[in-house]
Amino acid sequence: MLASKSVLLIIGGGIAAFKSLDLIRRLRERGADVTPVLTRAGAEFVTPLSVSALAGRKVFQDLFDLTDEAEMGHIELSRSADLVVVAPATADLMAKMAQGFANDLASTLLLATDTPVMIAPAMNVRMWEHPATQRNLEILRGDGITVLGPNEGGMACGEYGPGRMAEPLEIVAGIEAAFASGPLAGKRVLVTSGPTHEPIDPVRYIANRSSGAQGTAIALALAALGADVVFVTGPADVPPPEGVEVIRVETALEMKAAVEAALPADAAVFAAAVADWRVASAASGKIKKTGGALPQMEFAENPDILACVAQMGAGRPKLVVGFAAETDDVIAHATAKRVRKGCDWILANDVSVGTGIMGGTENDITFIHEGGAEDWPRMAKEAVAHKLAERIAAALT
Under the binding rule (CB under 6 A), the answer on residue 304 touching ligand C5P is: yes
Among 10, 213, 306, 330, binds ligand C5P (CB under 6 A): 306
Q: Smallest gap, in angstroms, from Cβ of residue 315 to ligand C5P? A: 17
**Which range touches ligand C5P (CB under 6 A), out of 5-13, 33-41, 144-152, 304-312?**
304-312
If phi > 0 it is left, if psi is from -120 to 50 it is alpha, else beta; for residue 68 that is alpha
User: Count of CB atoms within 10 A of residue 327's CB?
Assistant: 11
Q: Are strands 277-279 and 299-301 parallel, antiparallel or unpaired?
A: antiparallel
Pick from 315, 346, 351, 314: nearest CA to 208: 351
Q: Smallest gap, in angstroms, from Cβ of residue 41 to ligand C5P? A: 54
> 157, 169, 203, 339: which is the annotated catalytic residue?
157
Q: Smallest gap, in angstroms, from Cβ of residue 252 to ligand C5P? A: 5
Under the binding rule (CB under 6 A), the answer on residue 272 touching ligand C5P is: yes
φ, ψ of residue 75 to 5 degrees: the values are: -70, -45
Terminal C-alpha separation, the chain: 22
Among 45, 60, 205, 323, binds ligand C5P (CB under 6 A): 323
157 is catalytic: yes
Collapsing DSSP to helix, strand or coil, 335 comes out as helix
Measured from the CB atom, the residue of 167 and 344 that comes closer to ligand C5P is 344
Among 270, 319, 367, 368, binds ligand C5P (CB under 6 A): 270
Measured from the CB atom, the residue of 246 and 252 that comes closer to ligand C5P is 252
CB-based contacts of 318, cutoff 8 Å, min separation 6: 266, 267, 395, 396
Vertex 71: Cα angle to 70 and 72 (nearest 5): 100
Size of interface with ligand C5P, in residues (CB under 6 A): 12
Under the binding rule (CB under 6 A), the answer on residue 350 touching ligand C5P is: no
Order of strands across the sheet that contains 365-369:
245-248, 228-233, 188-193, 267-270, 319-326, 345-350, 365-369, 372-375
> For ligand C5P, what does the binding mask look like between residues 225 and 264, x meaning CB under 6 A?
---------------------------x------------
Among 322, 335, 365, 367, binds ligand C5P (CB under 6 A): 322
Measured between alpha carbons, how far is 261 from 43 in angstroms, rounded to an integer? 39
Measured between alpha carbons, how far is 134 from 155 in angstroms, rounded to an integer? 19
Among 23, 189, 324, 393, binds ligand C5P (CB under 6 A): 324
Helix and strand element counts for the chain (H, E): 14, 21
Under the binding rule (CB under 6 A), the answer on residue 150 touching ligand C5P is: no
Under the binding rule (CB under 6 A), the answer on residue 120 touching ligand C5P is: no
**Which range touches ligand C5P (CB under 6 A), out of 1-9, 40-48, 180-188, 321-329?**
321-329
Residues 163-202 that bind ligand C5P (CB under 6 A): 192
Under the binding rule (CB under 6 A), the answer on residue 215 touching ligand C5P is: no
Measured between alpha carbons, how far is 396 from 322 in angstroms, rounded to an integer? 17
- The string of DSSP codes covering 184-235 is TTT-EEEEEESB--EESSSS-EE--S--SHHHHHHHHHHHHTT-EEEEEE-S
- Residue ranges in contact with ligand C5P by CB under 6 A: 192, 252, 270, 272, 274, 302, 304-306, 322-324
What is the set of active-site residues? Answer: 157
